[in-house]
Structures are given as C-alpha cells and as structure tokens.
Amino acid sequence: MTGAGSGTAAGGGFAARYRAVVGERGRLCAGIDPHAALLEQWGLPVTVDGLREFAQACVTGLGPTAAVIKPQVAFFEVFGSAGLAVLEETIAGCREAGALVLADAKRGDIGSTMAAYTTAWLDDVSPLCSDAVTASPYLGFGALDPALAQARATDRAVFVLARTSNPDGARLQTARTDQGRSVAQSIVDAAAAANADGSATAGVVVGATREHGLDLSELSGPILSPGLGAQGATAQDLAVIFADTADLRWLLPAASRSILAAGPVPAALAAAVEATRDEIETALIGPNRS
C-alpha cells in the first residue's frame, strides 16, 4: 500500500505527503466523532460494539475519500481500553486506505512527558501511531519540541491550537503578549519559524466560526479549520476569513457531525465528504476549477 497514510514516508517532510493527498482528494478533514447521539441515530447501541461498527463504517466510507481524517480521541476514551483498541483499528484502517490520520488528542505537557505523548502518537512503535496529532501550547510552544522533532524526523506534523472555534477561547487567545502580539499570533509565528525548512511540520488550528485577526501568510504549513456545519460556519465563511490572510493551498477545513449525520451507509458518508469538499472548493476558487 503506497497511499499517503501508509507508514512512515521517506523524506520531503509532511509538506510532500500533505500536498500529494490534498491534490488528489481535495481540501477537507473529515472527523470521526462517535457521539452517543450519533450512535443512536445510526441505530447502534452506545457500547463498545456500537463504537466498533460506527468506526468501521467510517473507515470504509471516509478512508478512501477524505484527504485527512481526524478521529476525536475523547469519544474512544469514553469506552476505556476497549475503546482505545477500536481507535487503533480505526487509525490503521484509515491510513491503509490512503488518508492521512490526524489524531485529535490535544496533548501538551512538560518536555519529558511530552516525549511520552510523542511516542504514543507519532512513533511507529505505538499502535496509536498517526500521521499528525493536535497539541495545546499552553505550557509554552517550546514544550512541544519533542513532538516537533519526531514529526520532522518522520515526515509527520503537529497541529498546534492557535485560535480555536469555541467562543470561550477568545479572551486568552487574543490577549497581548509582552511583545504586543496576540497570544494566537505568537503561536502562528512560532509555527512559521518551525516550518522555515519547508517541512510543514507545524500546522495550526484556527476555527472557521469567526474572524480570527491573524496574519497566516508566513506560516508555510497546514491550517486546520474546524467549525464547519454543526458549529455554524459555512464554506463561504472560509473564503471571507482566510482569503486575505493565508495561502489558501494550506487551508484544511474540518467537519465532523455534519458529515457523520449522513451515515450509517459508507457510500453515503463518502458522498457527504465529496459534497462538502465541492462546496469548499467552489467557495474558495469558484465553480470552474480544473
């Protein structure tokens, strides 16, 4: 299997893997968020067996279709070790199908503990090994160094929270640092510095739900933008808030519940991915794209 998600790539950084799969499948990150309400909507029990069936349908429907797949780790942790076993199968299945897997685990801790999180999420020795992981910079961007180093060495990426899609984030993220920049802008700038080698090792998370006030033009790395659909953002909003502030080739809009609502039939999930992606492409570059 030679898909973007299969194993460790050989050089070129995450940038090459990302460009290849997004070029082929389009700009969209499909989330796997097995909410209890969705399991019920799909006619599944809210048990680990229901979780497994849900995840298998996602692997079949989303794995060959979406460029990036983002399992939300929390919904698997709800079921303890059995849920984590399902997460392992889900990650492996999506990577085998050629998607890049971004584990939404939002890890962040002192360096020595961060090293263990790094092994868990970004090292081939781990059954949870993914192509990228989300991270919180609240202990300082430098505390993420072990993850960034491992990601750089293995052509993976770390997506760092900068300006999140929830309203509660604003007060902290728009606060000014002693250098006069917003906290969120300082995260973006640190990520841009980490990407100076062209590897795109450091992505950022910037929600699609509101004006972010950031200059993303120097980032040279992926911008995960959650908030489409269930949180109220639209494809047109993406064009408005990112067109003048970012290189749109790096924009990776994300949606979970609005896609998963199309289940449980895998073909319907795949169709929802395609429809969402087409809406995004039309909004960002117009209907006559080649």
Of 219, 216, 257, 220, nearest to 238 by C-alpha is 216
* Subset of residues 227 to 266 that bind ligand LLZGTKA7, contact rule: CB under 6 A: 227, 229-231, 254-257
Per DSSP (E only), the strands in the chain are 29-32, 68-71, 100-107, 132-135, 157-163, 202-206, 223-226, 251-255
Nearer to ligand LLZGTKA7, 3 or 226 (CB): 226
Of 245, 186, 182, nearest to 211 by C-alpha is 245
Would residue 106 show up in a list of annotated catalytic residues for this protein? yes
Q: Which of 130, 164, 186, 199 binds ligand LLZGTKA7 (CB under 6 A)?
A: 164
Report the nearest approach of ligand LLZGTKA7 to the CB of residue 22 (Å): 18
Report the nearest approach of ligand LLZGTKA7 to the CB of residue 224 (Å): 8
Using DSSP bridges, classify how beta strands 157-163 and 251-255 pair: parallel, antiparallel or unpaired.
unpaired
- Rounded CA-CA distance 283/278 in Å is 8
User: Does 136 sit near ligand LLZGTKA7 (CB under 6 A)?
Assistant: no
**Degrees (nearest 5) of the Cα angle 107, 159, 3?**
110
Nearer to ligand LLZGTKA7, 85 or 230 (CB): 230
Q: Which of 33, 131, 155, 237 binds ligand LLZGTKA7 (CB under 6 A)?
A: 33
Nearer to ligand LLZGTKA7, 3 or 71 (CB): 71
* Subset of residues 101 to 120 that bind ligand LLZGTKA7, contact rule: CB under 6 A: 104
Structure-block tokens of residue 159:
């997506």
Tell the residue number behind the tokens 């999930």, with chain if given.
Answer: 269
Nearer to ligand LLZGTKA7, 3 or 99 (CB): 99
Nearer to ligand LLZGTKA7, 114 or 260 (CB): 260
Report the nearest approach of ligand LLZGTKA7 to the CB of residue 125 (Å): 26
Binding residue count for ligand LLZGTKA7, defined by CB under 6 A: 17
User: Does 71 sit near ligand LLZGTKA7 (CB under 6 A)?
Assistant: no
Nearer to ligand LLZGTKA7, 13 or 51 (CB): 51
| Phi, psi (deg, nearest 5) at residue 168 | -65, -20
Candidate list 25, 106, 163, 212, residue with the active-site label: 106
* Subset of residues 175 to 234 that bind ligand LLZGTKA7, contact rule: CB under 6 A: 205, 207, 226-227, 229-231
CA distances from 261 to 51, 55, 150, 227 (A): 15, 14, 35, 15
Question: Across-strand partners of 206?
Answer: 163
**Degrees (nearest 5) of the Cα angle 32, 212, 172?**
90
| Phi, psi (deg, nearest 5) at residue 192 | -60, -40
- Rounded CA-CA distance 13/139 in Å is 26
Report the nearest approach of ligand LLZGTKA7 to the CB of residue 33 (Å): 5
Question: Residues in the site for ligand LLZGTKA7, rule: CB under 6 A?
Answer: 31, 33, 72, 104, 164-165, 205, 207, 226-227, 229-231, 254-257
Catalytic residue list: 106
